[in-house]
């Protein structure tokens, strides 16, 4: 009889060695229950990914090894089950991104990752030493080889495993999400594994870790590189795949595919929920304005946590339109969230009175506008301190890119739910959310008027965003090409964008770096998000016309 492989797509938490080990034990029991002979877990499943500078602490590495040793001891209780667990392995002064293979209380071997990514969100060369010595072992007539994530993005490691006699490849992954990432993953399997006519078992981490989202979406390919089994996306799952008499993996469960917008929405929900739960907050707080950004943020928070775990606060001023009050109330009601209201005009007057002697003789400007925003930030943070709920900021990527946000005002908070969504993506996801599920009384959760009315910060009379910015359709096109695709200014000019608009946008992007560096973390859903992907200096005198070209 040939073996059955159980892929355990678990949601590990960085640093929770005991909790992660327990998840692995639970997965092992589930594997045994289903008659599996091989248990495959994600990359660094014991430590969580990425552990970052925890890997520089000897105590963390020592405790990690201790928990691994306990798992190996416990495997006596899972007779005949070969377990593959990702962990951080220390040998003298070197640390390896490793996979332990053990069965019946004994360590069969350990494989160390060969290819260490050091681009985009990755900096593994800071911590790990490359290894890559092939590890091949047999389970009931099938010879399995091990690779770890980046290994399969290059030809060396799969070829080494094949040369050592591997008939199937078990791949531990902690592959972060961005839209349509699965297309890339399947492409590298086709390019670097299927060329050897070897089936691949891809086990990917699931869950949110700070800015990174891991979408799961584990899958199995046959020797031709065709997907024959696929786990769910954005949730823990187990995938059971058996071999036939010819040594080929058999088709199994195929989870439903999601389009790009659905992927994005589920990623934001997962990231928001995990950040709040894993960091021990009691829920979330959203400053609701009656606008599109805060409405979408509230919907995501409710889907991530449940309405009883979310506080919505409306903080109107003299410039707040009645339709904003009405739409905010309708949105909160549809989502089943209690809406609180705090009038800020008396507080604005008090602040203005206190500042009057020093402002005497100076004209009004954005200072007075920002004061309103900062008062709202103070109120939200006071509620956070009192209730233990985390303030969720509502700024989008278009605003954050050009600094159309107030430091210590609407930027206040602990997690920025939509910071990697361009404005037009915000509108698209709002429409998607309305299609996904109706409100408690069958109404749209985000009222149509919120989606269709011109966006406004409502900090002065008759204000709209386009008083200060190019139209969002145009702005988003430029930002997508410039930030996410890396286009130069010369290329943008050649594409037909006006020199005046480009000059304004690039100047704003550059001058807002100090704001972004102080912004809350938020879920990464694009190929280049502000945060780990974007590391320009704060003090920067490179101001020539060739800037960023």
Single out the catalytic residue among 23, 89, 115, 149.
149
401 Cβ contact partners less than 8 Å away, ≥ 6 residues apart: 479, 483, 508, 509, 512, 530
Comparing C-alpha atoms, which of 527, 487, 523 is closest to residue 506?
A: 487
Single out the catalytic residue among 23, 113, 419, 515.
113
491 is catalytic: no
Cα gap 396→1, rounded to integer Å:
55
149 is catalytic: yes
160 Cβ contact partners less than 8 Å away, ≥ 6 residues apart: 114, 132, 134
91 Cβ contact partners less than 8 Å away, ≥ 6 residues apart: none
Query: What's the distance, Cα to Cα, between the start and end of the chain in Å?
Result: 61
Residue pair 525/269 in contact by the 8 Å Cβ criterion: no
SS3 8: strand
Q: Find the Cα–Cα–Cα–Cα dihedral 274, 278, 280, 285, rounded to 10°.
A: -20
Which string of DSSP letters, residue by residue, matches 284-317?
EEEE--SSHHHHHHHHHHHHHH-GGGEEEEE---
Comparing C-alpha atoms, which of 46, 48, 19, 272 is closest to residue 174?
A: 48
Single out the catalytic residue among 23, 37, 43, 278.
43
Which string of DSSP letters, residue by residue, matches 113-152?
-S----STT--GGGT--------EEEETTEEEEEEEGGGG
Cα gap 305→270, rounded to integer Å:
10
| β partners of residue 219 | 202, 230
**Which single residue is written with the structure tokens 């399947």?**
186
Beta strands in 315-395 (DSSP E): 339-341, 390-393
Which string of DSSP letters, residue by residue, matches 210-223?
TTEEEEB--EEE-T
Structure tokens at 221: 């390919």
458 is catalytic: no
Cα gap 313→520, rounded to integer Å:
19
Cα gap 143→109, rounded to integer Å:
14
Cα gap 431→452, rounded to integer Å:
11
In the chain, DSSP finds a helix count (H) and a strand count (E) of: 16, 19
Helix axes 260-278, 292-305, angle to 10 degrees: 70
Comparing C-alpha atoms, which of 244, 229, 232, 308 is closest to residue 270?
A: 232
Residue pair 70/172 in contact by the 8 Å Cβ criterion: no
Cα gap 523→515, rounded to integer Å:
18
Bond prior to 50 in cis (omega within 30° of 0): yes
Which residues have a catalytic role annotated? 43, 113, 149
């Amino acid at each position: 009889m040939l073996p059955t492989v159980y892929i355990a797509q678990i949601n590990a938490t960085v640093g929770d060695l005991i909790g992660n080990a327990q998840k692995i034990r639970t997965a092992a029991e589930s594997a045994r229950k289903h008659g599996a002979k091989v248990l495959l877990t994600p990359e660094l499943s014991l430590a969580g990914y990425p552990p970052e500078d925890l890997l520089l602490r000897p105590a963390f590495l020592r405790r990690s090894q201790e928990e691994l040793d306990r798992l190996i001891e416990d495997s006596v209780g899972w007779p005949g089950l070969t377990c593959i667990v990702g962990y951080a392995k220390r040998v003298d002064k070197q640390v390896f991104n490793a996979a332990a293979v053990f069965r019946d209380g004994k360590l069969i071997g350990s494989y160390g990752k060969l290819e260490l990514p050091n681009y985009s969100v990755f900096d593994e060369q800071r911590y790990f030493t490359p290894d890559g010595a092939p590890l091949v072992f047999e389970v009931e007539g099938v010879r399995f080889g091990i690779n770890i994530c980046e290994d399969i993005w290059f030809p060396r490691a799969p070829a080494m495993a094949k040369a050592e006699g591997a008939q199937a490849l078990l791949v531990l992954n902690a592959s972060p999400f961005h839209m349509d990432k699965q297309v890339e993953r399947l492409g590298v399997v086709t390019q670097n594994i299927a060329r050897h006519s070897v089936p691949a078992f891809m086990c990917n981490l699931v869950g949110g870790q700070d800015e990174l989202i891991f979408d799961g979406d584990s899958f199995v390919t046959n020797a031709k590189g065709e997907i024959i089994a696929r786990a769910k996306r954005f949730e823990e799952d187990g995938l059971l795949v058996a071999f036939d008499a010819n040594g080929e993996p058999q088709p199994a469960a195929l989870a439903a595919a999601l389009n790009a917008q659905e992927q994005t929405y589920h990623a934001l929900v997962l990231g928001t929920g995990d950040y709040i739960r894993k960091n021990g907050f009691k829920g979330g707080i959203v400053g609701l304005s009656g606008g599109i950004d805060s409405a979408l943020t509230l919907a995501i928070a409710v889907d991530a946590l449940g309405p009883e775990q979310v506080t919505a606060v409306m903080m109107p001023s003299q410039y707040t339109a009645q339709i904003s009050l009405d739409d905010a109330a309708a949105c909160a009601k549809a989502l089943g969230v209690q809406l609180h209201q705090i009038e800020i005009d008396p507080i604005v007057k008090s602040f203005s009175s206190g500042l009057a002697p020093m402002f005497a003789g100076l004209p009004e400007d954005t200072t007075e506008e920002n004061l309103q925003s900062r008062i709202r930030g103070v109120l939200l943070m006071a509620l956070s301190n009192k209730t233990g709920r985390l303030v969720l900021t509502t700024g989008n990527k278009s605003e954050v890119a050009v600094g159309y946000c107030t430091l210590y005002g609407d930027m206040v908070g602990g997690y920025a739910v939509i910071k990697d969504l361009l404005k037009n993506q915000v509108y698209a996801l709002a429409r998607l959310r309305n299609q996904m599920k109706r409100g408690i009384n069958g109404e749209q959760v985000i009222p149509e008027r919120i989606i269709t009315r011109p966006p406004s910060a409502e900090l002065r009379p008759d204000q709209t965003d386009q008083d200060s910015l190019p139209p969002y359709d145009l702005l988003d096109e430029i930002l997508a090409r410039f930030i996410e695709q890396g286009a130069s200014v010369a290329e943008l000019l050649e594409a037909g964008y006006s020199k005046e608009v480009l000059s304004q946008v690039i100047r704003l992007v550059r001058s807002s770096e100090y704001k972004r560096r102080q912004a809350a973390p938020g879920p990464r859903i694009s190929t280049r998000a502000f945060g780990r992907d974007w590391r320009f200096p704060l003090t920067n005198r490179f101001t020539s016309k060739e800037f960023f070209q």
